[in-house]
């Protein structure tokens, strides 16, 4: 009888061990659609997973939604791009560590016909003023993403009356979608929109749309990694998430980011100086 008892205990723990192996170690990464649409995650994550034997489960949404997911404890680590919202997130104690990983810039794209006459400009605010004053079609993500918030800040500088507050506005279209879908809608409508450079370079359906305005100072777009606070959400996998956090700001990941290119053009500028 004693033998069967201990044998049963052995089988139980053996089975639990096998289940753990089969399930594997994993973490949830809530990140922006731009890191996914650009193809960067497909280059980064397999290297990390092979190196650390930790699977990364990606939740690709707008930055606002990613921060909410982190606030609710439904992710272990974040990779986002809205410095204002990120600092507020940290001040409220939802994150325990935050570091910049990389950056690129936003660009304004539009139809080759360029009805707003902004092509070749280097002043994003001036371009938005022209679009606004002439009521030229513009498509907004409208999804509380980092891109959407950057766009809203530009409208705030460019005009006294914000377009999304005017019910009769027909030229301004909020679509509540990710960057790829927003681009498809803008192209279908022959409208302008704002997009991060990485997504634009990776986007395959440009058709007659081209880059209209580049303003690297005003449209600078940094990305940060944030580790969720385990004191607020003790169920999060903080130790494994910390491994990802440390790795993505380290030399191996930074070199991958630096070398990631499409048609010879680098999509993101790494944060470590030696790879810039």
Q: Mean pLDDT across the stretch 145-157?
A: 92
CATH topology of domain 105-214: D-Maltodextrin-Binding Protein; domain 2 (3.40.190)
pLDDT tens digits, 105-145:
999 999 999 999 999 999 999 999 999 999 999 999 999 89
pLDDT value at residue 2: 41
pLDDT at residue 6 greater than cutoff 50: no
Q: Where are the domains of the chain?
A: 2-103+222-275, 105-214
CA distance 112 to 90: 42
Q: How many CB atoms lie within 10 A of CB 260?
A: 19
Report the range of poorest mean pLDDT among 128-132, 151-155, 159-163, 237-241.
159-163
CA distance linking residue 243 with residue 48, whole number of Å: 9
The per-residue pLDDT for 12 is 42
pLDDT tier, 16 (very low <50, low <70, confident <90, very high otherwise): very low
Mean pLDDT of 41-48: 97
**Report for 17-31, 109-123, 139-153, 155-169: range of highest mean pLDDT:** 109-123
Residue 14 pLDDT > 90, yes or no? no
What confidence category does residue 160 fall into, taking pLDDT thresholds of 50, 70 and 90?
confident
Share of the chain above pLDDT 70, in %: 88
In the chain, % of residues over pLDDT 90: 82
More confident position, 136 or 166: 136
For 74-103, what is each residue's pLDDT tens digit?
999 999 999 999 999 999 999 999 999 999
Give tens-digit pLDDT for 212-266.
999 999 999 999 999 999 999 999 999 999 999 999 999 999 999 999 999 899 9
Calculate the average pLDDT of the chain: 90
For the residues 150-175, what does the mean pLDDT come to? 82
- Whether 105-214 and 2-103+222-275 are alike in CATH topology: the answer is yes
Helices (H) and strands (E) in the chain, counts: 11, 12
The pLDDT value recorded for residue 161 is 66
Burial pattern 16-54, b for ≥16 Cβ within 10 A else e, equals eeeeeeeeeeebbbbbbbbbbbbbbbeebbeebbeebeb
> pLDDT confidence of 158, banded at 50, 70, 90?
confident
Identify the three-state secondary structure at position 166.
coil
Topology of domain 2-103+222-275, per CATH?
Answer: D-Maltodextrin-Binding Protein; domain 2 (3.40.190)
Residues counted in the chain: 276
Mean pLDDT, rounded, for 41-67: 97
- For residue 4, the model assigns a pLDDT of 43
């Amino acid at each position: 009888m004693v033998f069967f008892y201990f044998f049963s205990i052995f089988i139980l723990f053996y089975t639990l061990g096998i289940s753990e192996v089969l399930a594997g170690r994993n973490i949830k990464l809530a990140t922006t659609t731009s890191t996914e649409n650009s193809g960067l995650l497909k280059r980064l994550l397999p290297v990390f997973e092979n190196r650390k034997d930790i699977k990364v489960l990606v939740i690709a949404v707008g930055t606002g939604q990613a921060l909410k997911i982190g606030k609710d404890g439904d992710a272990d680590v974040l990779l986002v791009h809205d410095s204002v919202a990120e600092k507020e997130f940290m001040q409220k104690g939802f994150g325990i560590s935050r570091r910049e990983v990389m950056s690129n810039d936003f660009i304004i794209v539009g139809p080759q016909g360029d009805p707003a006459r902004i092509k070749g400009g280097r002043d994003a605010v001036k371009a938005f003023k022209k679009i606004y004053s002439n009521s030229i079609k513009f498509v907004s993500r409208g999804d509380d993403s980092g891109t959407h918030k950057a766009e809203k800040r530009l409208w705030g500088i460019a005009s006294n009356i914000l377009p999304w507050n005017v019910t009769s506005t027909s030229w301004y279209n909020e679509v509540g979608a990710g960057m790829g879908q927003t681009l498809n809608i803008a192209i279908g409508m022959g409208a302008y929109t704002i997009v991060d450079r990485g997504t634009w370079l990776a986007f395959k359906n440009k058709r007659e749309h081209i880059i209209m305005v580049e303003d690297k100072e005003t449209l600078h777009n940094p990305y940060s990694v944030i580790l969720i606070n385990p004191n607020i959400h003790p169920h999060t996998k903080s130790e494994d998430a910390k491994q990802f956090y440390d790795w993505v700001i380290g030399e191996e990941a930074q070199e991958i980011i630096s070398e990631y290119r499409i048609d010879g053009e680098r999509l993101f500028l790494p944060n470590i100086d030696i790879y810039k």
